[in-house]
Structure 1
Amino acid sequence: MMKQTNLGKKNDLKEAAVGFALGAVGGCILGATEDPVDKILLVMTSSGPLKPVMEEVRVVGALGLGTLMGATALTTAMTSIIAGVILAAVVASVFVATKGYNTSRTQFAALWASAGFAGAFGTMLSGATLGIAIEWIVKNYGMVGLLWALSIFTLLKPPLRFVFQLLWRQGEMCCSLGSEGRSMEKQHIEISEWQQRQRVAVQIEERILTLESGGSTSELKDRTTWATEQRERDELERRKLENEEAAMEQQTIQDWINTVVIKHVDFLAFSGIPMTIVAIITSGFGLFGYGGHQSVFIVLLALVALIAYFLLNHSDIKFWMFVGCMGMFASYVIAMLTLHAGQVVVTSAMRMRAAGHNQSRETISTHMNYQSSLEAVNTAFFGAKLFQLGLGAAVGGALVRHSAGEVKVIAGGASVAGGLLFGVDVLAPALGDGGTAGALLGVVGAAGVSVGATAAAAGRCSSWPGALGTIGGLIIGALGMGKWHAVNIGLQVPVAYVFAMTNPY
């Protein structure tokens, strides 16, 4: 009994040590994104890039600016991560269909490595493209142009969903043509079995005829012949079994890929609708001069509550409904913080006036617009980073639960995110501020895959020391590499954990 107890303690300590190492890998890549993201945010909130946003506060109002910035940033985050997931699914589907799939470690690693790199690169590229587009729209057409672009994009996504589903089915049919190698192997095995049966039948017939004619057969030769035939039968049976297992495994992974694509295309099509509706209505109030009126609070709160009740009370609640409501609430919070920032300026001016330090109305208005714009950009960008991290964590958690290999997902996601982080740093001058910001959000999404896999691995641990060691490694790695940004890390880790434990499929 004492030996068993000591053995159990050793196993728990070993699991805790391994979990801590894996957690530290996921935490370090999360912390590594903190400094580049903070730097690009400082650039975006400097006087030059912030000027177009400040000029538009008077047009759409503080509430309109907050909801519009929040909806745009969250839509960018959701679109880029889903674009990466879909690209990864396409690469994995083509790999499985054209090159086949078996349970060998090399084939397994090649499949997930190619899909993981494609997904991370697609997320970064999509984020950079959307960031450049948003920066160009704001500079040339202001917030009204951004509102129109967001509205048109939201309206186009549901029809594009059907187009993509049609293209996906056509792609599956084309890829199925590449699976002829496995069917040819099956036919070859069947032909070999038939030939062997014919050969054995002939040998038996010859032996019977020899015995009937009074001849004799060599016992040694017969044994050798039957042993050879037995080896051939065993080899054919082994090949047949391997082919059937590979075909079953290929069909299983292809079905899972199809499920992932369908769910994420639905998510892309519908999740942005709630927060876009809120942004359109609040911006509309701002355009008519009621951006800061008290009635807008009531309308906004009632609208958010009504949409959330309708979606969350649905009998068949889906992942896009849940995340869409979260995005809508996040946009509402960003709007409140944006308005609050301007009101703080007014309160401060009133206190200064009471103390005998008068400020002109123009100075107060300019300061209000500046603080509102600064708060809108800061909170919208941070909200987009949280959503990007969370959606990436949902992917990483699902991969671990699908038995993709927690070590491969954690280390692979961290490696790819680290490589992309270096690539963004090199390409930053060519991407510009908006492109760099979008690309870095994509890198955060790739890091989220590793963090989510770490959280899922902690949930799969067989002992409390293993789970605590994994979570401890994640937190310590994130804080250490993230230069002890305790508030940011403290908000990001729980969000990543919640998304990682959520099953979107």
Structure 2
Amino acid sequence: MSRRELRTRNQLMDAALGFGLGAVGGCILGATEEPVDRIVSAMTASGPLKPVMEEARAMGALGLGTLMGATALTTAMTSVIAGVILAAVTASLFVATKNCSSSYADSVGLWALAGFAGILGTTLSGATFGKVIEWIVNTYGMVGLLWALGLFTVLKPPLSILFQLAWNKGEACCMLGSEIISREREDIEITELQQRERVALHIEERILSIEKQGNTTDDKMRWITEKRQREEIEKRKTESEEAEMEQKTINEWINTVLVKQVDFLAFSGIPMAVVSIVTSVLGLFGYGNHQVVLLVLLALVALIAFLLMQASDFKFWMLVGCMGMFATFIIAMLTLHAEQVVVTTAMKMRKAGHTQSRELISSEMNLQASLEAISTAFFGAKLCQLGLGATVGGALVRRAAGEVKVIVGPAVVAGLLLIGMEVFATWGDGGMAGALLGAVGAVGVSVGATASAATRWSSWSGTVGTIGGLILGALAMGKMHAVNIGLQIPVAFVFAMSNPF
């Protein structure tokens, strides 16, 4: 076979393999479209929508939009970070007890256990937050949700400090692994010393044997045995040193991940929470339909973004905080636009001779604003969850965790979660919505790993095949929702290429 034919064959194999991996990530991404549509329909039914509509009049469109957006995005961020922290803690305990055989990085048990813990933590925390939010809205209304969001935002920084202190105290678990390695090193040193003493004794015996003209065959067999034992000791010593270095490397990475994620959890929600609280309070004081609220919202967004961008040490939480704040702003604008559409339609009907009462128009405005706020906030939370999951998947692929494992593993788990989503039916619509967002986080890991793998091929055919499989799989399984898929894939690519760690 000529060199040209061999190169063509390799490129075709890269394209086929890339297409297969991309199709896995794309199909699981598209599979989330139908459950998302179903849960949004359930959340916008007349029963769950009633308490939101009751508060929409007093809070105004901008206040309602920012509150719903900030709450949904905060829930998404918190559930993802909770999953990442749980996965990191699980991996740290796994490494500390030295359950890996020869290599931590290649241990299937390590990645499988940490991944399962992360996905389970994300799903359960999302379901819990969804259930709590639903209970607060039904019991105390949107004002109660505003108080809960403010309290949660204020408590996160001190709680992060307490968590870091607890983690520093808990590093004794990591010291357990070091003690095991130290004992193993001592055993190797004792064995090596004993072997040297035997060699010295055999040398003396060999000298005496030569003086007495003894049997040399037994001496030769003895030397062969000693040489084999010495080689085994050297092998054990090398493996122990490599395992110790690898354990230190992984523990350092886990500590870095925990510190970054705890900071992210503590501070990333502050910008959008501040915007939401200010605009909602203005709405509660009777300025919900005034243009001054829009001006205050614009000024707040611009000021906070400017202050964060001017930071000398620009961190990942600042970037995501700005993005979440802008997403909250967009949700508020869409909510306000929904009200304006109702007003415009009423004016056109009045010109045509069909006059509607002011009460009917006001009720329709509240209805459309509530529908838009819930649907866009949930879609924004899905994008956030997908992006943060993609950040994790991209980072794992770059750390050589294995493209196939990181793409296929979370995709399989996410598929099982989507199939068994009815398990959370007893948690109510809020619980199911939060659990679904947790599954989307697992999907994000798979899609982010696919995006990162697309840039690691040695040939363009592998990259094109991976991206093509991702897009086609998402469109095919997503019932050709081109707009939704077209928004989600770029977000996943952008977050997968970022490096928060």
Query: With structure 1 as the length reference, what TM-score do the two structures score?
Result: 0.97
1:463 aligns with 2:459: yes
Q: Would you say the 8 A contact 2:105–2:401 is kept in 1?
A: no
2:279 alignment partner in structure 1 = 282
The 5-angstrom pairing of residues 26-37 of structure 1 reads: 26-37=25-36
Q: Structure 2 residue aligned with 1:252, among 249, 252, 263?
A: 249
1:499 alignment partner in structure 2 = 495
2:318 maps to a residue whose letter is M
Distance 1:130 1:103 in 2: 40
1:130 maps to a residue whose letter is F
1:330 maps to a residue whose letter is A
1:117 aligns with 2:116: yes
1:137 aligns with 2:133: no
Query: Structure 1 stretch 102-111 or stretch 173-182: which is displaced more?
Result: 102-111
Structure 1 unaligned regions, length at least 5 = none
Q: Please list the CA deviations of residues 74-117 of structure 1 after superposition, one character each: whole Å capped at 9, or x if unmatched.
A: 00000000000000111111011013434459970011000101
1:40 alignment partner in structure 2 = 39
Q: Would you say the 8 A contact 2:95–2:104 is kept in 1?
A: no
1:23 alignment partner in structure 2 = 22
Q: Structure 1 residue aligned with 2:474, among 468, 478, 499?
A: 478
2:9 maps to a residue whose letter is K
2:426 maps to a residue whose letter is A
Q: Structure 2 residue aligned with 1:371, among 351, 361, 368?
A: 368
1:298 aligns with 2:295: yes
Q: Please list the CA deviations of residues 31-73 of structure 1 after superposition, one character each: whole Å capped at 9, or x if unmatched.
A: 1111111101001011111111011012211100000000000
Give how far 1:207 is off. Answer: 2.7
Distance 1:452 1:107 in 2: 20
* 3-state SS of 1:66 partner: helix
Q: Would you say the 8 A contact 2:104–2:246 is kept in 1?
A: no
Q: Would you say the 8 A contact 1:100–1:179 is kept in 2?
A: no
1:398 alignment partner in structure 2 = 395
1:238 aligns with 2:238: no
Q: Please list the CA deviations of residues 327-346 of structure 1 after superposition, one character each: whole Å capped at 9, or x if unmatched.
A: 00000011111011101111
Query: Structure 1 stretch 3-12 or stretch 362-371: which is displaced more?
Result: 3-12
Give how far 1:404 is off. Answer: 0.5
Distance 1:127 1:174 in 2: 28
1:308 aligns with 2:305: yes
Q: Structure 2 residue aligned with 1:350, among 342, 347, 352?
A: 347
1:304 maps to a residue whose letter is V
Query: Structure 1 stretch 46-55 or stretch 271-280: which is displaced more?
Result: 46-55
1:264 alignment partner in structure 2 = 261
Q: Please list the CA deviations of residues 120-172 of structure 1 after superposition, one character each: whole Å capped at 9, or x if unmatched.
A: 01100000000000000001111110000000000000000111001111221
Give how far 1:390 is off. Answer: 0.4
Distance 2:285 2:490 in 1: 40
Q: Would you say the 8 A contact 2:106–2:401 is kept in 1?
A: no
2:316 alignment partner in structure 1 = 319
Q: Would you say the 8 A contact 1:60–1:283 is kept in 2?
A: yes
Q: Would you say the 8 A contact 2:421–2:432 is kept in 1?
A: yes
Give how far 1:175 is off. Answer: 3.6
Q: Please list the CA deviations of residues 301-332 of structure 1 after superposition, one character each: whole Å capped at 9, or x if unmatched.
A: 11101100111221111000000000000000
Distance 2:384 2:458 in 1: 30
1:439 alignment partner in structure 2 = 435
Distance 2:38 2:74 in 1: 22
1:223 aligns with 2:205: no
Q: Would you say the 8 A contact 1:76–1:127 is kept in 2?
A: yes
1:488 maps to a residue whose letter is N
2:55 alignment partner in structure 1 = 56
* 3-state SS of 2:286 partner: coil
1:273 maps to a residue whose letter is I
Q: What is the percent sequence identity of the aligned residues?
A: 69
1:127 alignment partner in structure 2 = 126
1:453 maps to a residue whose letter is A
Distance 1:295 1:71 in 2: 20
1:75 alignment partner in structure 2 = 74
Give how far 1:484 is off. Answer: 1.3
Give how far 1:9 is off. Answer: 1.5
The 5-angstrom pairing of residues 182-197 of structure 1 reads: 182-197=181-196
Q: Would you say the 8 A contact 1:101–1:249 is kept in 2?
A: no
1:109 maps to a residue whose letter is V
Distance 1:28 1:292 in 2: 43
Structure 1 residues 501 and 17, CA gap change in structure 2 (3 angstroms) = same
Q: Would you say the 8 A contact 1:421–1:440 is kept in 2?
A: yes
* 3-state SS of 1:99 partner: coil
1:12 alignment partner in structure 2 = 11
Give how far 1:205 is off. Answer: 2.1
Q: Would you say the 8 A contact 1:100–1:182 is kept in 2?
A: no
Structure 1 residues 155 and 459, CA gap change in structure 2 (3 angstroms) = same
2:311 maps to a residue whose letter is H
Distance 1:14 1:58 in 2: 60
Give how far 1:247 is off. Answer: 1.2
2:414 alignment partner in structure 1 = 417
Distance 2:127 2:120 in 1: 11
1:158 alignment partner in structure 2 = 157
Distance 2:483 2:493 in 1: 16
Distance 2:379 2:106 in 1: 39
Q: Would you say the 8 A contact 1:342–1:369 is kept in 2?
A: yes
Distance 1:40 1:151 in 2: 26
2:277 maps to a residue whose letter is I
Distance 2:20 2:96 in 1: 36
Distance 1:31 1:210 in 2: 80
Residue-pair matches, total: 501
Distance 1:154 1:473 in 2: 40
Distance 1:462 1:261 in 2: 33
Give how far 1:297 is off. Answer: 1.6
Structure 1 residues 435 and 197, CA gap change in structure 2 (3 angstroms) = same
The RMSD of aligned alpha carbons is: 1.4
Give how far 1:437 is off. Answer: 0.4
2:167 alignment partner in structure 1 = 168
1:458 maps to a residue whose letter is A
Q: Would you say the 8 A contact 1:102–1:249 is kept in 2?
A: no
1:407 aligns with 2:389: no
